[in-house]
Structure 1
């Protein structure tokens, strides 16, 4: 594929469909190296890798909401010393995310210029998108998984031995069933819903996505009128998953993706909630609004062919007291 190839996100006449065909492998406690005949197997075709401090490198981009989840959970659980983290820059071409934030444009641990190199180290003809977050085996410099919902799930359940003593219970047993239902709706209607608006290929597809998105936001606004966080008084994985979309809503989605019925700042309970989370270092420190805007407005050339990044909106409200 040529270097100057411009990816297309909008298919005329069609609704947006996200490709969710990720590398399904997981890193779990008690697993052995892939290929070991004693290793676990569940018949799914995935391979299981062992939890080992220092073995893996989490590759992220602060611009990406899916990678943003992993940054937050790693910090909340105190896994910084056992799972290193490499950061790609905010933009990418059709080939890959790149390490242009590092000196010389090279990740200091992997020695790579492109995340693509880690994928090709394991799958030389890897045919799908090179996505973040990705867990990479440092010893082989090969990708292990990019299945982002399982990455944060396993940070909590499989790396517990290495959590900091006061780490939050992100998957509380007493409300887990309800939380998973809440997260499913957040994913389909909000996390992915903004993309279905932005990448709609017809007016009908856009109208449907728009209606569904704001129905879900209204539901969340009502839910947060009666509770501090989504599941009550304590932070859970559900809050991590919603926050990453809320943080991008006014800077990007409201204009770039045409989700313009309401701004986040006009939804009082969601805005209070988002600011309270932002004040927590694991959340607020993960956000770089400049990188977020640079990514969306420069990469999506079919939506913004000029590549101009808007100067607004005013984001000072994020640091005002709740």
Structure 2
């Protein structure tokens, strides 16, 4: 029996409906797989200091750890927050804050510095502390860099073929630098599921990392921060509080450094100024408020 026009239309509609249902099902499957694959994945987030609906930036623990090193090296050299913002924006553009062992021609590391252009040996450039120090040394030689547009200041150091690319990273870099220099308390957090932290932490390794990033004066004579429990590190901050009662900026700089490098150094708890961060819950207020004389880190066991 020949098919009528109406039956042909019904057939086409049926096929269209079936295809639509299949497409929706596929989209649902992909969404579920994405969520299940990313739920519980380690990640770090920095948010605007006001804690409201402001800007936020999410990154991997590797990126956060490198950002913390860049900031620590800058403040240890006496560079202002603006310099840290310029350095972070540059590294975001050049390497996405990853210490990569390849790049254009012989470019390497966080800032894609080139051995052939006098930045150092490949081994030196792949050391984030060294690479950060070299960046700041060149930035400090730029007259009035803190008053220049970020793109221009970064370009004076990098001499990139795409100088305008740095500008797009300025908002995220500014968020990061506010947290990592200690101006924005408890604004950086990392989520590190237990299964992603391999092995117990090593207090000697944490202390060595602190000294490399902040210099030997970061850890004064033993006992100056009070007793440290086994499997923990206490870092002295200084005065108990500022005149206005706020926690010293240095304390939050060290606390955020510890959180950002928690995955690398296997730190599972950081406490300072009445706040406590844990690898599974983030920041919260302590029931028993801690003092402001030291940042305390508990290591994974």
TM-score exceeds 0.5: no
Q: Point out the structure with the larger helix share.
A: 2
After TM superposition, the score normalised by the length of structure 1 is 0.28
After TM superposition, the score normalised by the length of structure 2 is 0.29
Q: Highest CA radius of gyration, 1 or 2?
A: 2
Higher RCO (CA < 8 A, seq sep 6+): 1
